[in-house]
Amino acid sequence: MNPAPLLKALALSLAIGLATAASAADPNATCMMCHADASAKGASGKSIAVDAARFAKSVHGEMQFKCTDCHADVSADKLPHPEKLQPPVCASCHEQAVKDYTGTPHGKARADGKTLAASCANCHGAHDILRSKDPASRTNHVNLEQTCASCHGNEALIRKANIPGGNVAGQYHDSIHGRLLHEKGPRQAMAPECTDCHGTHNIRAKSEKASRVARANIPTTCGSCHQREKIVFDKGMHGKMLQAGNVAAPVCTDCHTAHTIQETTRPQWQLAVIGQCGNCHDDFISSYRLTYHGKVTNLGFANIATCAACHGAHDVRPASDPLSKVSAENRLATCRNCHANAGPKFASWDPHPQPANKERSAILYYTSIFMQVLLAGVFIFFGLHTVLWAYRSLRAALARRRGGQ
């Protein structure tokens, strides 16, 4: 008979007995007997080491929590414990957080057995959980981007877990908000990171009505910081439509995007917005492109009237509204922002000409008919001219040949 297993078991129960005696001082000493060893591994090869010093500095360690507060299915009195244990519990103390999390895309995916979605430990850590206000915490304002980016900025994982949106963390990183977050100084605290727009334990997919990034809620979410723009937007035509429940109206992200937001003074962005307006107002962009303003912006220069330069950005209104920047009352003043010397007649120039519309664009209509007739005339005249010329050359050549024989 091999005495080794028996000896081992005896030694173990002796050690556990000693540790249990010691555990009056440190209730976790029993567990740390095996888990303090930095090289300790489980059967699957995964490390089972627990860094006692780090745990002691964590929010739970500071309060001298027992290992079994979280690993509730293990008991210091019943060792050795089974190889496979239940996931640690948080709900016994953080009921609300667990409840909120359960309904989110992360919580639902986890419940469906998809282990790539964020768990409590993915965002907070396990034995090293710190309060969010601690600068070293994973959930501290400045570090959160990195925490979310460990998945939403990880191309391989995005593909594997089929995460919607792609590498949004990379996009955010280079946006005006992301750049502000990396700016050392007092303004850093003002920059929105992922959870300012998405929430934390109440993250929802954009398709869910309760989501902070659902279309109808976006102005409120952005407006929590951009109050001035939100107030103006709400009073304009687009904002009013949205309040009436019309989701055909544009929201902040249609013009600014969600994760690649840039300074609005950037010419490239100003030119891109023209295309956004045009996506919904196709008649007006095509007429705009016929004008000097529209041709110049089409060539890539933004130093000229864009849609927003005439209509405003957040307070667009029908031309019949006296408050509109292009109303009969305000139109000249709007032109004069750039055409400082414009006389009263200047504003009667049509910024949205329709050459095919006789009533609206009479001069253009007749000019364009004249040009078409002229064009056709030129073709007919010179076409005929060429044919006759060819006939004459042919005859002359034939005559020369006959004369030569």
Whose tokens are 């950005």? That residue is 313
Question: From the CB of 236, what's the least distance to ligand HEC, in Å?
Answer: 8
Q: Which residues contact 355 (CB under 8 A, 6 or more apart)?
A: 290, 361, 364, 365, 367, 368
Question: From the CB of 47, what's the least distance to ligand HEC, in Å?
Answer: 6
Whose tokens are 């956004």? That residue is 276
Q: How far is CA 326 from CA 314, 315, 342, 350, 392, in A?
A: 14, 12, 15, 11, 61
Question: From the CB of 297, what's the least distance to ligand HEC, in Å?
Answer: 9
> Alpha-carbon distance 3 to 14, whole Å?
16
Give 344 or 403: the residue with its C-beta nearer to ligand HEC. Answer: 344
Question: From the CB of 378, what's the least distance to ligand HEC, in Å?
Answer: 27
> Alpha-carbon distance 12 to 19, whole Å?
10
Give 47 or 372: the residue with its C-beta nearer to ligand HEC. Answer: 47
Burial of 360 (0-12, 13-18, 19+ CB in 10 A): middle
Give 312 or 368: the residue with its C-beta nearer to ligand HEC. Answer: 312
Whose tokens are 């910024």? That residue is 351
Q: Which two tokens stand for residue 7?
A: 């000896």
Give 132 or 368: the residue with its C-beta nearer to ligand HEC. Answer: 132
**Closest of 216, 226, 295, 305 to residue 261, by C-alpha:** 226
Question: From the CB of 355, what's the least distance to ligand HEC, in Å?
Answer: 15
Question: From the CB of 375, what's the least distance to ligand HEC, in Å?
Answer: 24
Give 241 or 368: the residue with its C-beta nearer to ligand HEC. Answer: 241
Are 342 and 352 in contact by the 8 Å Cβ rule? The answer is no
Q: One-letter amino acid identity for 68?
A: T
Q: How many CB atoms are closer than 10 A to CB 325? A: 20
Question: From the CB of 7, what's the least distance to ligand HEC, in Å?
Answer: 15
Question: From the CB of 283, what's the least distance to ligand HEC, in Å?
Answer: 8
Give 126 or 142: the residue with its C-beta nearer to ligand HEC. Answer: 126
Give 283 or 393: the residue with its C-beta nearer to ligand HEC. Answer: 283
Are 58 and 127 in contact by the 8 Å Cβ rule? The answer is yes
Give 34 or 355: the residue with its C-beta nearer to ligand HEC. Answer: 34
Q: Which two tokens stand for residue 159?
A: 């593909």
> Alpha-carbon distance 158 to 166, whole Å?
6
> Alpha-carbon distance 319 to 337, whole Å?
18
